[in-house]
Amino acid sequence: MWRFLSCSLCLFVSSLLGLQTLRASAEQLPAEVKTEVLFKPEECSQRSKRGDLINAHYDGYLEKDGSQFYCSRSAKDGHPQWFVLGVGQVIKGLDIGMMDMCPGEKRKITVPSELAFGEQGKGPVPPNATVVFEVEVFVVSRGPRSLEAFQNMDLNKDKSLTKAEVQEYLKLEYEKGGKPRDGPFYEKIMADIFRKNDHDGDGQISVKEYDIYKHDEL
């Protein structure tokens, strides 16, 4: 029944998963992330790597009793989360455990507390807790903040992205991942992306607005 736990909790924890302060603090410990592939699609269009924009569901459970503390999948209006892989937008254990994933792939990722919520714990996660995430990746989008990705999305080459352009791109990505979606699904994602990126609110994402993450390769 934990799966159906109140999703106000989820909302709380989802903000927490975005925190950048939750880094591994005990470098000297041999903390290891364990990954188990639950499903792997036959065709792999693209394997995830550091700096990629990922769209995924990740549900979090405590290892000790299997209770769920985060439910991106079962939240009522929950759509898959967007984040950049490998740059601390999610807990360290997910940054490590979600490398080399294909669109459509599912994994179970077991993360020791050092690479999750640490000695303090956080919200419903107690101190020193090993956590287990069940993740399903939908989109692996290369170098989200690279000029190349921007140019691919910018269909009319005016150096600005409209919602229609971004949506077209995501649609293709979802279809590659074997998960075509309906209109309302994209509307929510578009609202999310534009809320985070269209800083001047003109309905377009300019090159300047887009380039908010600085990556090594840029």
Pair of tokens at residue 52? 């990629």
The SS3 assignment for 26 reads coil
Residues 6+ apart with CB under 8 A from 13: 60, 69, 70, 122, 123, 124, 125
Is position 46 an interface residue for ligand NAG (rule: CB under 6 A)?
no
Which stretch, 38-46, 86-94, 127-135, 204-212, contacts Ca ion (CB under 5 A)? 204-212
Of residues 63 and 211, the one with the C-beta less far from ligand NAG: 63
The rounded distance, in Å, linking the Cα atoms of 172 and 184 is: 16
Measured on CA atoms in the order 71, 77, 79, 82, is the torsion positive or negative? negative
Beta partners for 135? 58, 107
Of residues 119 and 202, the one with the C-beta less far from Ca ion: 202
CB of 97 to ligand NAG, least distance (A): 21
Is position 120 an interface residue for ligand NAG (rule: CB under 6 A)?
no
CB of 121 to ligand NAG, least distance (A): 8
Q: Which of 119, 148, 187, 202 binds ligand NAG (CB under 6 A)?
A: 119
The SS3 assignment for 35 reads strand
The entry of ligand NAG, Ca ion, none that residue 128 binds, CB within 5 to 8 Å by partner kind: ligand NAG
Pair of tokens at residue 17? 């998963």
Is position 192 an interface residue for ligand NAG (rule: CB under 6 A)?
no
> Token match 């090993």: residue?
130
Identity (one letter) of the amino acid at 148? E
Q: Taking CB under 6 A as the rule, which mask of x and - marks residues 127-146 in contact with ligand NAG?
A: xx------------------
Identity (one letter) of the amino acid at 136? E
Q: Which of 53, 114, 50 minimizes the C-alpha distance to 86? A: 50
Is position 153 an interface residue for Ca ion (rule: CB under 5 A)?
no
Is position 29 an interface residue for ligand NAG (rule: CB under 6 A)?
no
CB of 128 to ligand NAG, least distance (A): 4
Of residues 119 and 158, the one with the C-beta less far from ligand NAG: 119
Binding region for ligand NAG (CB under 6 A): 119, 127-128
